Chain A
Amino acid sequence: MQASPPIGTTALAKREARLAWGLLSPTMISVSLVVVLPLLAIFWISVKPVSLADLRPASAIVREDVRGSGDELTIRYRIRNSTQDKIISDVTFQDTLPESVSLSDTPPDNCAVSGRTLTCDLGELAGGQREQLLIPIITTDEEAAEAAIENSDPIVSSTSTNILTDTTFTFENFRRIFDGDEFWGVLGVTLFYTVFGTIGALVVGLFAALLLNKEFRGQGILRGLYLFPYVAPVIAVAFSWLILFDPFSGSANALLVQMGAIDSSINFFGERPQALIMVTVFEIWRYFPLSFLFILARMQSIDTDMYEAADMDGATPFQKFWYLSVPQLLGILSVLFLLRFIWTFNKFDDIFLLTGGNAGTRTLTVNVYEQAFAVSNIGAGAAVAVVIFCCLLAFSFFFFRFMSQEEGL
């Protein structure tokens, strides 16, 4: 009998696969909880008419106090709906009557007493509705009874429909965000910011990499220094820029005025169109270190033989750069371009901190925040997020098509 390789899945391979899934499961569970689930939730919320106030579900609030004296003593329960516009159903509450207290008369129809427990059923409460129930009691020691009654809080139960989980759907959110010129303005700003931010960071990074692609004393220090903008917390550098370019007491304005470049202060982050240019410049400033690092790493792995051969043939520096370096760097440059394009498109913190999306700098990501929290319309915010996610899917389709051809990274 001839020996043949095993066909199908062997026991060993099965064991290996089982181990692999075992090792991956913690990651998969956590990632699906925090990434996949929220993504599904975003799609769900985007078709719901939900605002920030709806996050607090409607509930019934019950307050009790003791009124009157002597024979006229009553416990007063005041019940109200916590919201103005939502219906709460099956509102009931239970309260324990102290030992020293007994009923002096029959309680209202919707209340019943068994043992020392008082149960009241109020049925449905409309939005903003208030109700009052009076339970007549007698007691020997009024003060003690009052304290005892007010010490035992009633237990309330009710059901209310939550806008997040019911079945009302609407396309109002999408209609709203696509309505009018605003959306196209936002999209245009996003594209400007993304395209120029990405290309700018790549070009500046390439320039920096060319500078440092040679051995000299202090090269390490300069390389470290040039990474500072990326490593420092975004909030620290964003506020530094704001203070540097402040229209009233910023150093940049003072400097430009002193040098005679401008006559009066420029409001760099507060007016169109320079605010958009400034946030793009900030983006380039903050992320050129990244492209610089990648490009430098790639440059240092290029074989020097080629350059020596070119030198022998009498190639000039620009020729060497154009005909030798650029073709070698094209791969990393295009991968970087795609990745940075996606990430600049997704960027939120920088613009949010610098301008808050004002003065014509509102990108799609800032619009999510703006709609959801500033306008308090969570549904519309989610709708913008869905739009972002769809753009992202399209980009990553390109990215993976490209990545499979281009190894590296």
Chain B
Amino acid sequence: MSVLRQWYVTSALVGALWMLVLSTTVAVAMSFATGDPFRPSLLLSFLIGAIAAILLVLRPGGRLASWAIMAIVLVVTLLGVGPIIQETGVFLAAIGALILSASFVVSMEKILEACGVHTLTKYEWEDVVIRFLTGFGYIFFTAIVFIPFYVMVMTSFKNQSELIQNPLDFSLDLDKGIDLFRSYFELFGEFNFDQYLLVSFFISVVTVFITLAFSIPGAYAVARLRFQGQAAFSRGILLIYMVPMIVLALPIYIAFSVTGLRNSILGIVLIYPVTTIPVALYMLQGYFRGLPAEIEEAGLMDGLGRLSVIWKITLPLSLPALASVSLYVFMIAWNEFLLAFMLLDDPSKFTLTRGIASLNSSEIPRQHLMAGAVIATVPIMIIFLGLERFMTKGLTAGSVKG
């Protein structure tokens, strides 16, 4: 352990690893952005990173040292013996080298802030490690979340031959102008996606209203009123909430086949709320319990009935919770795939998710599939970003469900 805490060992190790992280990140980012082959060099990253980190701790010449190190990293990268290797263009290589050297020096100074030219104390050593892990964490999470969505959006702007030619080239060919959106025009024009969008929206909104109409009275009863079986009931809700949909989907499929509800929007509207009512009830009753009962009792004393207490006191007080629940239910209904897939075969009645599933065939080019995915994702993302506060609350309160 004490060897690890020598300042030169710590800084060299952290510097080497950090350089590898950064060179990989920059190489991947540059490859995805330009389509040119960038690749990190494991050995050179380790070597240059370690030396640069030790120099940064020593800092001969103060502030000037940082600039000098930045310049050295830049130059060796440009000479082709740096952490990133790129063979084609000088211009892009320069940009990559610049980004790498600048980001390395700036972030390395932050990471090694507690590292002095002496054997590190346990506290200092852990501080360095934690800063390194934090930096790594930000890059890691941003990359894993961002890349699939980036691929989804960029693929939808491409065409078949471009995609096969260079799968890494996600740069936009702006000369194509409006033609970039061709997949979208085709989806809306030929594949009825405008209608699917409307159907999905309609179904989701109706589901929200039906769910609220059923779950508000139920949640109030469970939260406020005393009756036999109250505890059993609130457990029952949680239990029902855990029954997997695929188990229920089979009998529902049979029942819908027999009654002719399959392939009808009515059938979907009947079934969706029931999958969301237990969730909504569970979330709302938690909120109702948190409201002070005294206000309601005051209302009761002043001669209001229970129902008018709910309508005039409880509901106005729980508007934020209602917003969260509505958003959460909307999200579930909008994203629902299994039931739509099993119950709808008729292309004129598809929801958006079912429509996308129908695009997944070898005859339909994949940019259409990705454009469909974007069309389904964008509305829910707009709602999510616009109302993030409510949405996050709703997720925390109710998303024990997957």
Q: A232-B380, A251-B32 are in contact. Are A372 and B148 (CB under 8 A)?
A: no
- Structural contact, B380 and A392, CB atoms closer than 8 A: no
Beta-carbon contact of B126 and A16 below 8 Å: no
Contacts of B222 in A (CB 8 A): 24
Interface string of A245-260 (1 = CB under 8 A from B): 0100111011100111
- Say whether B250 contacts A385, CB under 8 Å: yes
The yes or no answer to A58 lying at the interface (CB within 8 A) is no
Q: Does B64 contact A (CB under 8 A)?
A: no
Evaluate contact between A222 and B142: CB separation under 8 angstroms.
Answer: yes
A240-B337 contact given A35-B243, A228-B149, A233-B376, CB 8 Å threshold: no
User: Chain B residues near A34 (CB, 8 Å)?
Assistant: 248, 252, 271, 274-275
Q: Is A306 located at the chain interface by the 8 A CB criterion?
A: no
Whether B227 contacts A27 by the Cβ 8 Å rule is: no
* Minimum CB distance partner of A254 in chain B: B167
Check A235–B250 contact: CB distance below 8 A: no
Q: How far is the CA of A255 from the CA of B248 in the complex (A)?
A: 42
In this assembly, does B144 line the interface, its C-beta being within 8 Å of a C-beta of chain A? Answer: yes
Residue of B with least CB distance to A395: B242
Please, how many angstroms separate the alpha-carbon atoms of A228 and B385 in the complex? 10
The reply to whether B335 and A207 contact each other, CB–CB distance below 8 Å, is no
Name the B residues within 8 Å of A41 (CB-CB): 251, 254-255
Per the 8 Å Cβ criterion, residues 326-348 of B in contact with A are: 331, 334-335, 337-338
Q: Which residues of A contact B356 (CB under 8 A)?
A: 233, 235-236, 239
Q: Chain A nearest CB: distance from B106 CB in Å?
A: 16
- Name A356-409 residues within 8 Å CB distance of B: 365, 368-369, 372, 378, 381-382, 385, 388-389, 392, 395-396, 400, 409
* Count of chain A residues with a beta carbon within 8 Å of a chain B beta carbon: 96
Does chain A have a CB within 8 A of B91?
A: no
Q: Given the complex of chains A and B, what is the CA–CA distance between A249 and B151 in angstroms? A: 12
Known: A17-B228, A37-B251, A235-B353. A259 touches B27 (CB 8 A): yes
Q: Contact mask A333-352 → B, CB, 8 Å, 1/0?
A: 00000011011111111001
Please indicate the chain A residues that have their CB under 8 angstroms from the CB of B147 in the complex.
244
Does B146 contact A225, Cβ atoms closer than 8 Å?
Answer: yes
Interface-facing stretch out of B8-16, B177-185, B232-240, B289-297: B232-240
Counting CB contacts under 8 A, is A187 at the interface? Answer: no
Question: B244 to A388, Cβ gap below 8 A?
Answer: yes
On whether the beta carbons of B137 and A27 are closer than 8 Å, the reply is no
B273 touches A294 (CB 8 A): no
Q: From residue 33 to 89 of chain A, which have CB atoms closer than 8 A to chain B?
A: 33-35, 37-39, 41-42, 45, 55
Q: How far is the CA of A274 from the CA of B148 in the complex (A)?
A: 19
Residue of A38, A314, A385 touching B123 (CB-CB under 8 A): A314
Query: Would you list which residues of chain B between 102 and 161 have a CB under 8 Å from chain A?
Result: 122-123, 126-127, 130, 134, 137-138, 141-142, 144-149, 151-152, 155
Give the segment of A102-110, A127-135, A140-148, A285-293 that binds chain B: A285-293
Residue from B141, B218, B381 within 8 A of A211 (CB atoms): B141
| Chain B contacts for A340, CB-based, 8 A | 402
- B39 near A45 with CB under 8 A, answer no
Q: Does A13 interact with chain B (Cβ within 8 Å)?
A: yes
In chain B, what residue has the closest Cβ to A13?
B226
Tell me, yes or no, whether A297 is within 8 Å of chain B by CB.
yes
Q: Are A372 and B357 CB-contacts (below 8 A) given A27-B281, A347-B402? A: no
Contacts of B163 in A (CB 8 A): 249
B24, chain A: closest CB distance, angstroms: 8
For residue A231, which residues in chain B have a CB less than 8 angstroms away from its CB?
Answer: 331, 380-381, 384, 391
Does residue A114 face the partner (Cβ distance < 8 Å to B)?
no
Q: What 0/1 readout, one digit per residue, does chain A (219-242) give for beta carbons within 8 Å of chain B?
A: 010111111111111111101110
In this complex, what residue of B is CB-closest to A9? B228
Are A239 and B254 in contact, with the CB atoms below 8 A? no
Contact B250 A211 (CB under 8 A): no
Looking at B50-58, B72-80, B188-196, B392-400, the stretch in contact with chain A turns out to be B392-400
**Most chain B Cβ neighbours within 10 Å, of A20, A250, A340, A352:** A20
Q: Contact between B145 and A226 (Cβ–Cβ < 8 Å)?
A: yes
What residues make up the interface of A, taking CB atoms closer than 8 Å to B? 13, 16-17, 19-21, 23-24, 26-27, 30-31, 33-35, 37-39, 41-42, 45, 55, 164, 207-208, 210-211, 220, 222-237, 239-241, 243-244, 246, 249-251, 253-255, 258-260, 285, 287, 290, 293-294, 297, 314, 316-318, 339-340, 342-349, 352-353, 365, 368-369, 372, 378, 381-382, 385, 388-389, 392, 395-396, 400, 409
For the complex of A and B, list the 3 residue pairs with the smallest distance between their C-beta atoms, beginning with the closest.
A346-B244, A236-B373, A38-B251
